[in-house]
Amino acid sequence: MAPAIATPIWFITGCSSGLGRAAAEEVLARGWRAAVTARRVESIEPLARKYPEAALALTLDVTRPAQISAAVAAAERRFGGIDVLLNNAGYGYQASVEEGEEAQIRALFDANVFGLFALTRAVLPLMRRQRRGHVFNISSVSGLSGFAASGYYAASKHAVEGWADSLAVECNPLGIRVTCVEPGPFRTDWAGRSLQRTPSAIADYADSVGARMRQTEGYSGKQPGDPRRAARLIAELSQHAQPPRNIALGARAVQMGALRLKAKLADIERWAPEGLRTDYED
């Protein structure tokens, strides 16, 4: 693999707050260059004023294809390429599976899945031309393990995880690396501004979905994860000669992710003799 670039060019989505904002600040403070994006560009203009030579503030709603094309083209014009794509834009949605609303579910997938896919497709030609690049996808512990009230959010993150597996196989030979980052609870406004919800009215779900929603309501501002430390780690991984395909952030993500994956492996191994009986005998 080629040595790390001294002043890499980043493209970061969802920079108005939370992990995206922390990542933008970390990258720019290191003297690297970055296209920082948000749906409301005024929320990130202070970054461009603070780092006028290194930062390019752009309007970007990843659900709008025209804005994707314009933002990637602007970054290429300004910097000449993109070395690291940090797919951070997205939001949460809580509902029981039974009570999930069609419009809410489709909007969630437009942002968390289809928008992420479309932006990556727009950036990949630049990375292929360079024969280098790194795509970071901010997934979630919910991309490894589902929780009550988070079925559709977990589904959106599982979709990104599976897609990223294929992307890595296709792009590793081209010098393009892929990492899924699976945070647990971090002290951002995800549970406030970035969380949509369909309250559960079915009594049978009170102890599962209802309890989970109540827990989330009381947790904002008390999460153990530090966005600045996460941003620092992601920046460090971008310079690593052999970056991970997956990295869980925080004790909850590490513990819950490992437990779920071990349980899946145990099921596969336990039922392997039965599963193997379904092949043709020849």
Residues belonging to the active site: 139, 153, 157
What is the DSSP annotation of 160-184? HHHHHHHHHHHHGGGTEEEEEEEE-
Alpha carbon distance 268, 102 (integer Å): 33
* 8 Å CB contact between 62 and 89: yes
Alpha carbon distance 74, 56 (integer Å): 9
Longest CA span, the chain: 69
> Which residue is associated with the tokens 């559960």?
200
* 8 Å CB contact between 108 and 114: no
Query: Which residue stretches of 42-88 are H helix?
Result: 45-50, 65-79
Any idea of the CA torsion for 61, 67, 72, 75, to the nearest 10 degrees? -90
User: Distances in Å between the alpha carbon of 245 and those of 179, 181, 238?
Assistant: 4, 8, 12
Alpha carbon distance 151, 93 (integer Å): 9
Alpha carbon distance 115, 108 (integer Å): 10
Give the tokens for residue 268.
């596969």
Which has the closest alpha carbon to 183: 63, 60, 92? 92
